[in-house]
Chains A and B, each alone.
Chain A
Amino acid sequence: MPDTSVGRAQYDCIVIGGGHNGLVCATYLARAGRSVLVLEAASQVGGAAVTSEFAPGFRVSACAHLLHLMPGSIIRDLGLESRGLALAPGGTPTTAIAPDALPLPIDAADSSALARHSAADAAKFAPYLARLRRLAEALYPVLDGAPPRLGTDSWHDRLALLRIGWRIRRLGRADMRELLRIGGMCVQDLLDEHFETPLLKGALAFDAVLGTSAGPRSPGSVFPLLYRMAAEVQGSSLTQPLGGLGAVSDALARAALAAGAAIRTGSVVQRIVVHADRAAGVLLQSGEQISASSVISNADPKTTFLQLLGSEHLDTGFVRRIAHLRARGVTAKLHLALNARPRFTGLSDAALSGRLLLAPSLDYIERAYNHAKYREFSPAPIIEVTLPTVRDTSLAPSGGHVLSAVVQYAPYELAAGWDNERSRYANLIIDTLERCAPGLRASVQALELLTPPDIERQYRISGGHWHHAELSLDQFFIVRPVPGAAQYRTPLGGLYLCGAGSHPGGGVMGIAGRNAARALLREAA
């Protein structure tokens, strides 16, 4: 629906932000015949899914460091594997590590190591996982589609609800009851019902609290676990793309270009231009103005509405909901450039190529979270470690290694101020790892710490939350990011959201980008 009053728009669609969702969205729009321009503020596309050089010769996936949530359908649809996306060979095993205990492989197929801790746990682990997977599978339609609106007459909305209801009903009585029972529960209660091994429970809870401002005892902490498992149903198993996560973005950019979209990097959008109560283009920081019939924002909701659009174009109630959106990151990233391969006590070589979880018990995680509530960081953080150079030597100079650590809980607003505390925090993380990998510290040549404020600055994500908005029941599905913008459309005609702040949310997934493109195309049809 071009705005005829301002003459012909230069593009049908402008996508603000060339993150993975923006690129996915642009590709689908371009394939539908739209002229599309992607504007990326940084010098390379990818948003928070980029590979960046943090020390001379050392490169690392800057934020996300594992690919596991992007549905196979999007990877196939966009032909990513023919466009240069290659996954590191072999799986990505998960191992629980602890300073004072032998590593424990978290592997349902081989529970022999677990059996040495608890025969009961070893017997229960596979059935536990199988059941959660069944429940997660039933939830997949929730994740995949655009959230329906409630109380409308639209067949589209009703059909979407029916599909979800049908999948859940098909679980059968026992599983459906279990899903309803555990859906809002805290993950500690769930794990305590099943297991007794602290190391196992800690590792399983890690995936429930990763990237969220919640501890194992926080209500609703089972939900992110189910969410993650549901996404994995159609996604790949945990993988590390060769060349880091940036390789995914590069392949996505090639797909977008092949579909006919234009991409401009180094183009910072300052404002969304509004004409006659419709989004009509963007104004760049350079002063250049580009017109378009539709604007699709890959930026987070707060940035999109409060900074790029401005509350004067929105109603107070909507602005209030956006302002109240919980979007303060608690996840930090530490990158270490190492001159030697680290040796984790008791860890096999195969395990070293996977991910290592340092979260030795539920209490340990909860204590780490306690500090964050009071705007402090814990002296004993929980950490997810990957060593991408074990399989992908291209990321470091010969003989060198890269350690990529996701660390929680690092509150966005640190009472003592991050400027004063960042080196202490980095050292604390290294010390914590050192206890599992003696000699690590001595091999550190350079490091980079990304706190939530750093992530906010570098990746232009308000609050530095890499899911753009806290992923929790109150900000999910038909209320993500907020009512009034949960179907990718926004209160302003011609403006759409396509980022992780929209359903289904964060992780390098691409579903929000694809669904936003669909919503736009359907509306215009």
Chain B
Amino acid sequence: MSGEAQPHYQQPLLHTPFHRRARALSQVDSFIPWSGYTTVDVFTFVEQEYFAIRNACSLYDLTPMVKYRIAGPDALRFLNRLMTRDIGKLRPSRVAYSVWCDDAGHLIDDGTVFRLGDSEYRLCTGERQLDWLIDSALGFDVEIDEVTAQTAALAVQGPTSCAVLRAFGLDGVERLKPFELGYFALPPALGSGRQLMISRTGFTGDLGYELWMRPEDAEDVWDGLMQAGRACTIRPIGSRALNMARIEAGFVLPNVDFVSSQHTLRVGTERSPIELGLDWLVDFNKGHFNGRRALLEERRRGPRRRLVGLDIEGNKPAHNALLYADQAGRHAIGSVSSATWSPTCKRNIALAMVDAPHMATGRQIWAEIYLNRELVWERRMARARVVERPFFAPERRRATPPADY
């Protein structure tokens, strides 16, 4: 892999197998570190990349996503004890989004579980978890290996993503249902016998796919997609544009909307899945899992706070805004963790953690927004309404087969 050409101490951040392509297309040289890799924050400018997600087709390098292979006779028992969701319901060739907690029911991380075989799974997650996974494996006959570097991954998202994949020659991809995965041969022009795995998953809330391949196939796939997608104005995107899309989709991001309980230092800054509004991922009926007893107790007591969607007046994103029950700002009730102007919804939206009495949909609260007007700071109290998530959920994200657009 190109990233391993130099000793690690001379190059603290690795390059993904797509790095040379990304470097060549980067116009503003804006890179950020992600799980030990250099990744693109912005290629050109954010809005242009955002519209590729919502109006055309976007390419996003998600190789740094940490991947674990979990296999063995007890793989399912292990995952069911680890995860809040009932992984027993996950059929082969299906993918499930889930979270996992510590003993106190506090969130460690979220991620996706791919069922690759009868007793073989892949777990994809934002941060490294090996110590927690290994300790969780005590008493289970299961193998856990990190396979992050062995698998290059590319997200192809947007209304024309299916059309682009077909134009590239991945026949049959249109039959993949949401959260389904399949194996596809690469176009014969690239040589025979090469295949990749595609899952109909993504972080945009839109029609989209994630491609999982051997690192040595990465550049050919990238080039082939860029070529095949030219007519659909395919565009590589960085993390910044993706972030706008995921806020519209209402997805939470670790270290932004919550901090893993493995990293929090201050008491009370941990978050539970119930507080994050992820109750639907918690299956109390499947038997014991990490944090179950604590979460039952929390459910009985009722959560103290909750992550909600906010619709805020005006068009200035409420980044990090403190929230109040009253316009005067005497009674603080929470704060915004993610905020953006949503170009598609034409709404000023945010994800915010608010105290229990204020979390009901329709509740009106106030956001304290700071505006920098050429270094003259202004403070504005903006009306905000608690609304349902997601903010944007187009029907096309579910349609099978997808239309061509």
Using CB atoms and an 8 Å cutoff, list the residues of chain A in contact with chain B: 277, 306, 310-320, 323, 484, 491
Alpha-carbon distance A330/B209, docked complex (angstroms): 59
At the interface, yes or no: B45 with Cβ under 8 Å from chain A? no
Q: Decide: A311 and B138 in contact? CB cutoff 8 A.
A: yes
User: B78-112 interface mask toward A, CB cutoff 8 Å, 1 = contact, 0 = none?
Assistant: 00011000000000000000000011000000000
Q: Decide: B138 and A313 in contact? CB cutoff 8 A.
A: no
Interface residues of B in 213-261 (CB under 8 A from A): none
Q: Decide: B136 and A312 in contact? CB cutoff 8 A.
A: no
At the interface, yes or no: B299 with Cβ under 8 Å from chain A? no
Least Cβ–Cβ distance between A7 and chain B, in angstroms: 21
- Chain B residues with Cβ below 8 Å from A317 are 102-103, 290
Known: A312-B288, A316-B132. 16 other contacts (CB 8 A): A277-B288, A277-B292, A311-B140, A312-B77, A312-B81, A312-B139, A316-B102, A316-B103, A316-B135, A316-B290, A317-B290, A319-B138, A320-B135, A320-B138, A484-B103, A491-B103
At the interface, yes or no: B293 with Cβ under 8 Å from chain A? yes
Alpha-carbon distance A314/B139, docked complex (angstroms): 11
- Chain B residues with Cβ below 8 Å from A310 are 139
Of chain A, the residue at the smallest CB distance from B101 is A315
- Chain A residues with Cβ below 8 Å from B293 are 277, 315, 491
Of chain B, the residue at the smallest CB distance from A322 is B138
Least Cβ–Cβ distance between A56 and chain B, in angstroms: 43
- Chain A residues with Cβ below 8 Å from B135 are 316, 319-320, 323
At the interface, yes or no: B17 with Cβ under 8 Å from chain A? no
- Chain B residues with Cβ below 8 Å from A491 are 103, 293
- Chain A residues with Cβ below 8 Å from B138 are 306, 311, 319-320, 323
- Chain B residues with Cβ below 8 Å from A320 are 135, 138
Q: Decide: A311 and B132 in contact? CB cutoff 8 A.
A: no
Using CB atoms and an 8 Å cutoff, list the residues of chain B in contact with chain A: 77, 81-82, 102-103, 132, 135-136, 138-140, 287-288, 290-293
- Chain A residues with Cβ below 8 Å from B102 are 315-317
Sampled A-B contacts (27; CB under 8 Å): A277-B288, A277-B292, A277-B293, A306-B138, A312-B77, A312-B81, A312-B288, A313-B288, A314-B288, A315-B102, A315-B103, A315-B290, A315-B291, A315-B292, A316-B103, A316-B132, A316-B135, A316-B136, A317-B290, A318-B103, A319-B135, A319-B136, A319-B139, A320-B135, A323-B135, A323-B138, A491-B293
Of chain B, the residue at the smallest CB distance from A321 is B103
Alpha-carbon distance A277/B297, docked complex (angstroms): 13
Of chain B, the residue at the smallest CB distance from A493 is B293
Of chain A, the residue at the smallest CB distance from B81 is A312
Least Cβ–Cβ distance between B183 and chain A, in angstroms: 32
Alpha-carbon distance A332/B288, docked complex (angstroms): 40
- Chain B residues with Cβ below 8 Å from A319 are 135-136, 138-139
Least Cβ–Cβ distance between B128 and chain A, in angstroms: 16
- Chain B residues with Cβ below 8 Å from A323 are 135, 138
Least Cβ–Cβ distance between B77 and chain A, in angstroms: 6
- Chain B residues with Cβ below 8 Å from A277 are 288, 292-293
Least Cβ–Cβ distance between A28 and chain B, in angstroms: 27
Alpha-carbon distance A317/B82, docked complex (angstroms): 11
